[in-house]
Amino acid sequence: AQKITQTQPGMFVQEKEAVTLDCTYDTSDQSYGLFWYKQPSSGEMIFLIYQGSYDEQNATEGRYSLNFQKARKSANLVISASQLGDSAMYFCAMSRYGGSQGNLIFGKGTKLSVKP
């Protein structure tokens, strides 16, 4: 069965420092997509970054980058130069095998708190 594991329930980081949020996944599918979403206290889920299983380069989007290690089945999110507005829940997700490709499986999330 497909599964996403986020082992860090909460993380603290000092403003302007970098932080890594961990995500490991389990799938027998050869073709899959990995996503990171941010959920501020307002509740809305905001797409951050995507990595395809066949992508040779790690994905980057501004201050966000994805450290993709396929053999280890990990897809860690790196946030550089943390800002106070980065305080939120962060969810790792994977495209589900078969069916609608927008049908994602989510991890339990990591709560990031940025300290001034």
Partner 1 sequence: DGGITQSPKYLFRKEGQNVTLSCEQNLNHDAMYWYRQDPGQGLRLIYYSQIVNDFQKGDIAEGYSVSREKKESFPLTVTSAQKNPTAFYLCASSLNTGGRNEKLFFGSGTQLSVL
Query: Could you give the CA distance from residue 45 to residue 2 in angstroms, rounded to a whole number?
Result: 21
Task: Give residues in contact with partner 1 (CB under 8 A).
Answer: 4, 9, 31-33, 35, 37, 42-47, 50, 52-53, 91, 93, 95, 99-104, 106-109
- Encode 98-110: b = buried (16+ Cβ within 10 Å), e = exposed: eeeeeebbebebb
Cβ nearer to partner 1, comparing 83 with 103: 103
Distance of closest approach, residue 115 Cβ to partner 1, in angstroms: 22
Nearest-CA neighbor of 63 among 49, 42, 45, 44? 49
Cβ nearer to partner 1, comparing 14 with 113: 113
Distance of closest approach, residue 106 Cβ to partner 1, in angstroms: 4
Distance of closest approach, residue 16 Cβ to partner 1, in angstroms: 29
CB atoms within 10 A of CB 1: 7
Cβ nearer to partner 1, comparing 10 with 84: 10
Query: Could you give the CA distance from residue 20 to residue 29 in angstroms, rounded to a whole number?
Result: 26
Distance of closest approach, residue 9 Cβ to partner 1, in angstroms: 8
